[in-house]
A and B are shown apart, each in its own frame.
Chain A
Amino acid sequence: MNIVVLVKSAVDEAELRADPSGHPVLKGAAMKMSNFDMNGVEEAVKQKEMNGGTVIVLTLGGADSKKAIKEAMAMGGTKAVHILTEPQDAPDSLATAYCLAQAIKRIGEVDLVISSEGASDTYQGEVGAMVAEFLDMPFIAYAKKVEAGRGGVRCEQGLGGALRVLEAKLPAMVSVVSEANVPRYPTLLQVMVAGKKAIEEIPLASFKGPDYPETGTEVLDVSVQSASRKRVLFDGTPEEAAKKLVGALKQEGVL
């Protein structure tokens, strides 16, 4: 089974800092594989282990995406394709999906495309569905269980208290949620081997033809929403302070 897994190099939220105006400092920010994509890669590798075949890691992003690609390769990717963007490219979700779909077409025979539910930095959750549309593939979103093989894929979706089971013929595209699996930790040896594997680079510019979608959305602003603490101190005996605390929590509507 030939599987393509979509991986995004996302800003490491844990390392993100805001400038004095409340805007995140994105220039030079630490990057890593989007947390949710670790579930996508795990699912792809799991399916490869069960069905045989290959896992192709497909990424669109700048030169700083290499780290995320290598992380995915260490988890079990067979080969990697990197659609390399330049700072002036700035593709939106639609253009990103178009390029990813074109790259999948170039890869050739693909049975299953797997993505995660969204990126851990922007969490727009649009690209997966758009890629499926460009490829004219059936799309199952938010799968919490995936069983692929014998020409089809069967998935379970959690709907609050209900469970929906869906099936599609291959080739198909599936997006998985983080409950789908527990991403493996690659061993240090796997990390080292992955670091030496070649990554096929395709410049984004090579997809810019008459069908390349014009930018439909524009990001106007990204700012940090800060939460301030009230720092209220309650005095008195522990019993008195506890009563005051409960009163204050009720006043806030917490209790």
Chain B
Amino acid sequence: LKLFGAEHERILGSLYGAEAAEVYGALLRSLSTVLEERVSPLSLALDQGREEIAKPRRVLFEQGACKLTHATEFGGMGLPFGVYALAMELAGTADASTAMSLGIHNTVADAVETFGSPEQKKRLLPALLSGKKLAAFALTEPTSGSDARSMRTTASREGRHFVIEGAKMFITNAGEADVYLVFAATGTGHGAFLVEGTNPGLKVGKALKEKLGMRASRTAEVRLVNCRVSEDSLLGREGAGFEQAKQLLDSSRIVMGMICVGIARAAYAKALAYSKERELFGKKLSDLQLTREKVANAAMETSASRLLCMHAARLKEAGKPYTSEAAQGKVLATESAVRTCDAAVQLLGGYGYTSDDAHRHLRDARLLTIGEGTSEVLRMLIASQELER
């Protein structure tokens, strides 16, 4: 499967104009070549636990996939967010877990760039953008996920330090990360703290091994036990943590939606190729009307998901509100990816059910209707925004 296709050229052209689309197209085409040759071939082995999970992530760091949108003074490329979103779609097609691991890492880089002090930016951003340091985003807790406001982790001020106590759950990159962005209640609201992975008070639990999908990203519990951090570790203003988390998640939802567009494409391409070869009743599977309905639905939903996520990305680029659009894009993209991957398994029949290479896409997609805001919570958010208008 050629990851960068005519559909990407067309959307770049329609959103950014011909001249910019040529530059962005060259970048994404180059990234696709690397993904096709160095990441896609590892993907099945990664799902089956036969390959080192950091390997494809290193490839993407080497290429500069985390530099796309960040400021040039820190080693970034200063490109529009939509270019990064499309890059994450391509990465999602090549290997969804790697894309998600990278996407979450990049959310922390965004956090440092958006809310960090000049010293925090100087100290962390070049290392995060080049991949010398890996980051994790620690918001969810064992008893609070989408209901983040009820988090139990606390950060108490002791002189020029904070002491963090609590537990975080389902943390992507936990155990591998060098930096954890930990959200905690401070008494005056919430704060976001940059905690080094080497901090003796930060303890990472065993990797969750029974995950349905996304098996090439490490997910674990993180416990914070008398975790002392200097007050310089606080990102931005004390009390602003919850608002920061909301802002970061708005942006991250576009990325997770685009990863799902990529996952859907991967599954769809396999089913489409099979349907053109498989013969039954003297016809090709692709000649049957009920197959064509599935193909048409997959094509429509994938395009619609990409467009809605890219619309949210363009609003973000323009500095306009995009909370609802990002949530809509994520819900549509993740739920339609589950439908498309399920249809792909159906078209592949027995082979779809019995082959990791077919059903892993369905297993991968399934996470993202839960992570970064469940579909239910995002519908509540979308509806409340509609009702407030």
Q: Do A and B come from one complex?
A: yes
Residue ID in chain B nearest A188 by CB atoms: B64
Contact with A along B20-44 (1 / 0, CB 8 A): 0011001100110110011000000
| In contact, A188 and B63 (Cβ under 8 angstroms) | yes
| In contact, A187 and B64 (Cβ under 8 angstroms) | yes
The residues of B that contact A14 with a CB separation of less than 8 Å are 2
Considering the complex, which residues of chain B in the window 1-20 have a beta carbon less than 8 Å from any beta carbon of chain A?
Answer: 2
- Residue with the highest number of chain B CB atoms closer than 10 Å, among A185, A188, A194: A188
Q: Is A137 in the interface zone, CB < 8 Å from B?
A: no
CA distance A1 to B236 in the complex (A): 52
Check A191/B27 contact, CB under 8 A, given A185-B34, A185-B63. yes
CA distance A213 to B100 in the complex (A): 57
The residues of B that contact A195 with a CB separation of less than 8 Å are 22-23, 26-27
| In contact, B2 and A189 (Cβ under 8 angstroms) | no
- Residue with the highest number of chain A CB atoms closer than 10 Å, among B62, B65, B77: B77
Residue ID in chain B nearest A229 by CB atoms: B277
How big is chain B's contact interface, by range?
10 to 19
- Shortest B90–chain A CB gap in Å is 12
| In contact, A191 and B62 (Cβ under 8 angstroms) | no
Residue ID in chain B nearest A32 by CB atoms: B29
Q: Is A125 in the interface zone, CB < 8 Å from B?
A: no
The A interface, classified by DSSP as helix, strand, loop or mixed, is helix
Residue ID in chain B nearest A185 by CB atoms: B34
CA distance A195 to B29 in the complex (A): 12
The residues of B that contact A67 with a CB separation of less than 8 Å are 26
| In contact, B22 and A189 (Cβ under 8 angstroms) | no
The residues of A that contact B167 with a CB separation of less than 8 Å are none
Q: Is A186 in the interface zone, CB < 8 Å from B?
A: yes
The residues of A that contact B63 with a CB separation of less than 8 Å are 185, 187-188
The residues of A that contact B332 with a CB separation of less than 8 Å are none
| In contact, B26 and A191 (Cβ under 8 angstroms) | yes
Q: Is B68 in the interface zone, CB < 8 Å from A?
A: yes
CA distance A56 to B167 in the complex (A): 58
Considering the complex, which residues of chain B in the window 47-77 have a beta carbon less than 8 Å from any beta carbon of chain A?
Answer: 62-65, 67-68, 77
Considering the complex, which residues of chain A in the window 141-155 have a beta carbon less than 8 Å from any beta carbon of chain B?
Answer: none
Check A74/B64 contact, CB under 8 A, given A188-B77, A195-B22. no
| In contact, A192 and B2 (Cβ under 8 angstroms) | no
The residues of A that contact B31 with a CB separation of less than 8 Å are 188
CA distance A14 to B63 in the complex (A): 23
CA distance A189 to B62 in the complex (A): 11
Q: Is A79 in the interface zone, CB < 8 Å from B?
A: no
- Residue with the highest number of chain A CB atoms closer than 10 Å, among B31, B37, B63: B63
| In contact, B26 and A189 (Cβ under 8 angstroms) | no
| In contact, B2 and A188 (Cβ under 8 angstroms) | no
Q: Is A221 in the interface zone, CB < 8 Å from B?
A: no
The B interface, classified by DSSP as helix, strand, loop or mixed, is helix
CA distance A195 to B2 in the complex (A): 22
CA distance A187 to B23 in the complex (A): 14
The residues of B that contact A15 with a CB separation of less than 8 Å are 2
Check A191/B30 contact, CB under 8 A, given A14-B2, A15-B2. yes
- Shortest A178–chain B CB gap in Å is 14
Check A189/B64 contact, CB under 8 A, given A14-B2, A195-B22, A195-B23. yes
The residues of B that contact A186 with a CB separation of less than 8 Å are 30
Check A192/B77 contact, CB under 8 A, given A185-B63, A187-B62. yes
CA distance A185 to B33 in the complex (A): 9
The residues of A that contact B23 with a CB separation of less than 8 Å are 192, 195-196
The residues of A that contact B33 with a CB separation of less than 8 Å are 185
Q: Is A43 in the interface zone, CB < 8 Å from B?
A: no
| In contact, B67 and A189 (Cβ under 8 angstroms) | yes
The residues of B that contact A187 with a CB separation of less than 8 Å are 62-64
Residue ID in chain A nearest B33 by CB atoms: A185
| In contact, B2 and A74 (Cβ under 8 angstroms) | no
CA distance A70 to B2 in the complex (A): 19
Q: Is A42 in the interface zone, CB < 8 Å from B?
A: no
The residues of A that contact B2 with a CB separation of less than 8 Å are 14-15
CA distance A192 to B37 in the complex (A): 20
Residue ID in chain B nearest A191 by CB atoms: B30
- Shortest A183–chain B CB gap in Å is 10
The residues of B that contact A37 with a CB separation of less than 8 Å are none
The residues of A that contact B27 with a CB separation of less than 8 Å are 188, 191-192, 195
27 A-B pairs with C-beta separation under 8 A: A14-B2, A67-B26, A70-B26, A71-B26, A185-B30, A185-B33, A185-B34, A185-B38, A185-B62, A185-B63, A187-B64, A188-B30, A188-B31, A188-B64, A188-B65, A188-B68, A189-B77, A191-B26, A191-B27, A191-B30, A192-B23, A192-B26, A192-B27, A195-B22, A195-B23, A195-B26, A196-B23
